[in-house]
Chain A
Amino acid sequence: MKKAPYKRKPGDLEIRILKNGKVVMVAPDETLVKIAQVVDPEHCATQHNTETKENARRQKGESH
Chain B
Amino acid sequence: MDHQAHRKIPERVKLAREALANCNLCPRQCGVDRTAGQKGYCGIDDTVRCFREMLYCGEENELNPSHQIHFAGCNLRCEFCILSEWNEQPMAAKEIDFDDMAGKIIDRWSKGAKTLNVLGGEPAVNLHGVLELLGRVKPEIKVVWNSNMYYNEIVDKLITGLIDVYLADFKCGNNRCAEDLLGANDYMEIVKENILRAVNRADVIIRHVIMPGHSQCCLKPILTWLADKLPDVKLSLRDNYVPPVQVASAPSGYLTQEEMQKAVGLAKSMGLNLIK
Contact = CB atoms under 8 A, between A and B. Distances in A.
Nearest to B83: A27
Given A26-B242, A48-B112, A10 B65 contact: no
Chain B, interface SS category: loop
A7 B85 contact: yes
Interface size class of B (residues with CB under 8 A): 20 to 34
Contacts of A54: 112
Contacts of B54: 29-30, 33
Given A30-B55, A48-B112, A51-B112, A10 B92 contact: yes
Nearest to A50: B112
Interface residues of A, number: 28
23 contacts: A4-B246, A5-B245, A7-B245, A8-B85, A10-B51, A10-B85, A10-B93, A18-B254, A26-B242, A29-B54, A33-B54, A45-B57, A47-B64, A47-B65, A47-B112, A48-B65, A48-B112, A52-B110, A55-B109, A55-B112, A59-B106, A59-B109, A62-B140
Interface of B: 51-52, 54-58, 64-65, 82-86, 89, 92-93, 106, 109-114, 138, 140, 242, 245-246, 254
